[in-house]
Amino acid sequence: MPSPESPPPLPHAPSCRRRLRDVLVLAAVFAACAPALASGTDADAAPADDAVAGVALPAATAAFTPMASELHAAVNVSAETIAAPRRGDAPLRIAAATEPARSGADAERIATLRRMAVDYEHGNGVARDGARAAELYCEAARLGDASSQFDLGWMYANGRGVRRDDALAAFFFRAAAAQGIEQARTMLRVTGDPQVEPPPCMREPTPPAPPPAASAPVPAASIMAPRIIANLVGKIATEHNVAQSLVLAIMRAESNFNAGAVSPKNAQGLMQLIPETASRFRVKNAFDPAQNIRGGVAYLRWLLAYFEGDVRLVAAAYNAGEGAVERYLGVPPFQETRNYVRRILDVVGPIVLPFDRSVTGPSPLMARIRERQQVR
């Protein structure tokens, strides 16, 4: 028990962060709505103008800690990306200014889920139901929608219709950040970024059955590739005991057989090797077709051993990295990755290919990945 002379104990740091965040959000809403309230106009029509990002939060950041500066950065976006505050609504949530375009087989389903989730969250034509909104956002998040991942993270970070849970908030913010939403990266500095089990709503409703063992892939001849490239792949893939059809399917998805291709992330050549992967597999010139194929095939050989031949996981890891597959215990909830895996499976099939156990041991999380595949 502290003595009478002892200073009061300091608040717990995470609690301070949460309180500061709430203060800043309320200040921002007040700054946007106060003029309308003072003039007697309808506050629902209060414009989402620069008062939100340019007045209240800068004043707060001048008075508070560097944490406030981070929060200011999270909402310092153009007026078009801020939803107008409404009476009875809020906390203020920022729309994703860098949201990737929705595409692929899930686009229509995602759009429907998001419309329903927004209606339940805000009571638009239906009774407000935060739990139902969270379920709908989570289904869209599972399908790889970055905006839904961010919105669900925001709900958990603020206890918006669901129990407040910074760990779950961080899970969804991280997924959104991986798909390019900068505000999600900033929010991770507030919530932290703990490693947590993917929540049940992120499981496939009918998880993919464990693929059949040692199945034969489709013939490589069914993939149209330039003859010189097909010959190189045949030689190098045979040397490494990797299915030619897998190599050609990956190559077509990565570069469409363009030896000079360079991605925005500086992935290079036929197999789109980033410099770190090229160095890892001793590729000195990623634009040399033979070297690039050899490096890409060596990486596929390693991934086949690490994920015990499961083509679904190998394709996901080639696109998003083996760490992402382990974090999400399966195909990561990224639209690009989900679409990429479909393209590979359309060619090779959802199978298990032979692999060389001497290359590397399996992922330490393979047992948990398998468990999630078996949950019905």
- Catalytic residue numbers, as ranges: 254
Q: How far is CA 304 from the centre of its chain?
A: 23
CA atoms within 13 A on the CB side of 185: 9
Nearest-angstrom CA–CA distance, 229 and 223:
12
Provide the sign of the torsion angle of the four alpha carbons 365, 367, 373, 375, taken in this order.
negative
Q: Which helix (H) or strand (E) holds 296?
A: helix 289-306
**Among 316, 309, 321, 307, which Cα is nearest to 339's?**
316
Nearest-angstrom CA–CA distance, 67 and 20:
8
Strand partners, 352: 310
Nearest-angstrom CA–CA distance, 271 and 48:
46
Report, in angstroms and rounded to the nearest whole number, the Rg of the chain calculated over CA atoms.
25
* 358: Cβ contacts below 8 Å, ≥ 6 apart: 305
What is the three-class DSSP state of 221?
Answer: helix
**Among 349, 343, 346, 254, which Cα is nearest to 297's?**
254
If phi > 0 it is left, if psi is from -120 to 50 it is alpha, else beta; for residue 25 that is alpha
